[in-house]
Amino acid sequence: DAGVIQSPRHEVTEMGQEVTLRCKPISGHNSLFWYRQTMMRGLELLIYFNNNVPIDDSGMPEDRFSAKMPNASFSTLKIQPSEPRDSAVYFCASSLRGRVAEAFFGQGTRLTVV
Amino acid sequence: AQRVTQPEKLLSVFKGAPVELKCNYSYSGSPELFWYVQYSRQRLQLLLRHISRESIKGFTADLNKGETSFHLKKPFAQEEDSAMYYCALSSGSARQLTFGSGTQLTVLP
Question: Is pLDDT of B64 > 60?
Answer: yes
Question: Is pLDDT of A98 > 50?
Answer: no
User: What pLDDT does B95 receive?
Assistant: 57
For residue range B67-98, list pLDDT tens digits in order. Answer: 999 999 999 999 999 999 999 988 765 556 78
Instruction: Choose the closest CB to A97 out of B45, B95, B98.
Output: B95
Q: Tell me if chain B has a CB within 8 Å of the CB of A106.
A: yes
Question: Is pLDDT of A100 > 50?
Answer: no
Contacts of A72 (CB under 8 A, 6+ apart): A25, A30, A51, A52
Number of A to B CB contacts under 8 A, please give it: 57
List CB contacts (< 8 A) between B8 and chain A. none
For residue range B100-109, list pLDDT tens digits in order. Answer: 989 999 999 9
Question: DSSP letter at A75?
Answer: E
The answer to whether the bond into A81 is cis (omega within 30° of 0) is yes
Sequence length of chain B is: 109
Confidence band (pLDDT; 50, 70, 90) for A1?
A: low
**Residue in chain B nearest A3 by alpha carbon:** B43
Instruction: Choose the closest CB to A100 out of B32, B42, B101.
Output: B32
Percent of chain A, pLDDT > 90? 68
